[in-house]
Structure 1
Amino acid sequence: MGTAMRVNYAGVVPLSTLDWTGKSAFTIFFRGCPLRCPYCQNHPYLEGTGLVELEFVEEKIKSSKPFVSAVVFSGGEPLMQAGIVDLAEFAKNLGLSVGIHTNGCYPERAAEMIERKLVDKFFIDVKAPLDDPELYGKVAGYESGETNISPSRTPEKITAAVAKTIKTADASGLEFELRTTVFRDFIGGEEEISRIVTWISENVKNKDVTYVLQQGIPEHSLQENLRDIRVLGREELFELGKIAKSHLKKVRIRTKEEGEEVV
């Protein structure tokens, strides 16, 4: 392990039952993300520097071990951090399962972790239909004006990277979950959900993949003009779940009111 390696740390949730259904998890948040989704809930983690030595995070993982069965790396975008590989190895050596929440922009690092058997489950965002780079770019904040996404990260490159991450996870045989955050009048209308799940059904070989529709919470949005939008209710989300269910076997919805429910 490189002694000088550091990670851009944001904080932890010592015990979470929400980040990995069925497991008690220690969730670690990292700063930094290549995207600027206007509805982002974790926007305080998008920028800023909280560099810490790997040992600092390892101690936190170690102290959580008696209480949890898994570590979840979240953010921000955890796969931006080179040190995540060493941290995952540390967690695995303690006997903990490792889960990764990712926007899918780092397929090479995902592949490295799979190859080294350092990840047990991926939770991958599918922000919009993957065959529509223009819409995906809008949802990822490509032209939001909030903060410029790197010009090299065009909508076409973003969608290609996400598709590659999904196919890499799919080919690995690992458990993974795909999820879409639904936001009224921004993303997640009936047609858009239909197009997303059609792509999944045509491109993902694992027919047991779980697809989750998440209720976006407007008041926490990065972009101020979205904060007053009316939240999509549980019944509305359930109806969208039924559309997804016509293409996929395992569909869930996640709301503030009822938590996670099977459709």
Structure 2
Amino acid sequence: MKVNYAGTVPLSTVDWKGRAAVTIFFRGCPLRCPYCQNHPYLQGFNPVELEFVEEQIKESTLFVSAVVFSGGEPLMQKAIVPLAEFAREIGLAIGIHTNGCYPEMANELVKRELVDKFFIDIKAPLDDPKLYDKVTGFGELEAVKKTPEQITASVIKTLEIADSCDLEMELRTTLIRDFIGSREEIASIAAWISKHMKNKELTYVLQQGIPEHSLQENLRDLRVLEREELYELGKIAKSFLENVKIRTRESGDEVISDSV
């Protein structure tokens, strides 16, 4: 079996906070988020044998306790199942970074008990398909015959699957000034999570987007949201949810406390 491979980080402490992990990046993604920082991985085909990627994972086992599959979008690839099986066989915890567009594959991993933590992007309010379409750049992909409503329905289904099992879950939204992340948008996302997700232990993270690395050139000159601005937005999310963090380049992860 072939893997559309992008690269490996043999030892990462940022892709799964609290764990040392080997991170495998895949090529390919159905979205074209204008602010995407991993845009070199969005397209192209770099086929390698499954055994090559397994060896990449195996070489890190002395130093890590987990593997994280990222991208791109890892759930696009059928190889994710045998790779997760391999990771399980050698005793690694399994984390999946996903945009939520492939609920069937998420369900397959859950059924086979091949995932320990989901990291799911909520790009924009899920009850606003038009805005979700804008923020994901989905309308730019003429070959993909999906409506904005189908996109958000897939993300919601993935969230329901992750919520149906006793797994760790991190939901996150990347914020870009004047593009996504207004007070109203954060309140809408957090309220949706509070209303629809049964797992009250999940963590919601507001991530500081770095515009200078964006796929879309006209975003690269935008001023990055400052730590203090994200903290204020985190306080809005905290009014709906138990566990909220902000993630910034300057301060890393910060918990929004109950005393705010």
TM-score (norm 2): 0.97
Q: RMSD between aligned alpha carbons?
A: 0.8
Q: Which residue is 1:193 aligned to?
A: 186
Q: Which residue is 2:223 aligned to?
A: 230
Q: Cα distance, 1:254 vs. partner?
A: 0.5
Report whether the alignment pairs 1:28 with 2:21: no
| 1:121-132 mapped onto 2 (5 Å cutoff) | 121-132=117-128
Residues 212-259 of structure 1 deviation map (CA, whole Å, 9 limit, x = unaligned): 000000010000000000000000000000000000000001000011
Report whether the alignment pairs 1:69 with 2:62: no
Q: Find 2:172's aligned residue among 167, 176, 179.
A: 179
Q: Which amino acid aligns with 2:17?
A: T
Q: Which amino acid aligns with 1:60?
A: Q
* Distance in 1 between residues matched to 2:59 and 2:142, nearest whole Å: 37
* Distance in 2 between residues matched to 1:83 and 1:31, nearest whole Å: 12
Residues 148-200 of structure 1 deviation map (CA, whole Å, 9 limit, x = unaligned): 25442221111000000001000012111100000000001000000000100
Report whether the alignment pairs 1:11 with 2:7: yes
* Distance in 2 between residues matched to 1:102 and 1:68, nearest whole Å: 21
* Distance in 1 between residues matched to 2:25 and 2:2, nearest whole Å: 14
Residues 22-56 of structure 1 deviation map (CA, whole Å, 9 limit, x = unaligned): 10010010000000000000000000111101000
CA contact 1:128–1:139 (8 Å) conserved in 2:
yes
Q: Which residue is 1:248 aligned to?
A: 241
Give 4+ residue runs of structure 1 displaced > 4 Å after superposition: none
* Distance in 1 between residues matched to 2:138 and 2:104, nearest whole Å: 22
CA contact 1:35–1:149 (8 Å) conserved in 2:
no
- Identical-residue share of aligned pairs (%): 70
* Distance in 1 between residues matched to 2:143 and 2:225, nearest whole Å: 31
Q: Which residue is 2:250 aligned to?
A: 257
Q: Which amino acid aligns with 1:115?
A: K
Q: Which residue is 1:118 aligned to?
A: 114
Structure 1, unpaired ranges of 5+: none
Q: Which residue is 2:149 aligned to?
A: 156
* Distance in 2 between residues matched to 1:80 and 1:244, nearest whole Å: 30
* Distance in 2 between residues matched to 1:221 and 1:32, nearest whole Å: 17
* Distance in 1 between residues matched to 2:43 and 2:176, nearest whole Å: 23
Q: Which amino acid aligns with 1:106?
A: Y
69-78 vs 170-179, which moves further: 170-179
Count of residues in Structure 1 that have an aligned counterpart in Structure 2: 256
Q: Which residue is 1:202 aligned to?
A: 195
* Distance in 2 between residues matched to 1:151 and 1:86, nearest whole Å: 27
Report whether the alignment pairs 1:81 with 2:74: no
* Distance in 2 between residues matched to 1:40 and 1:55, nearest whole Å: 29
Q: Which amino acid aligns with 1:21?
A: K
- C-alpha change, 1:175 and 1:154, in structure 2 (3 Å) is same
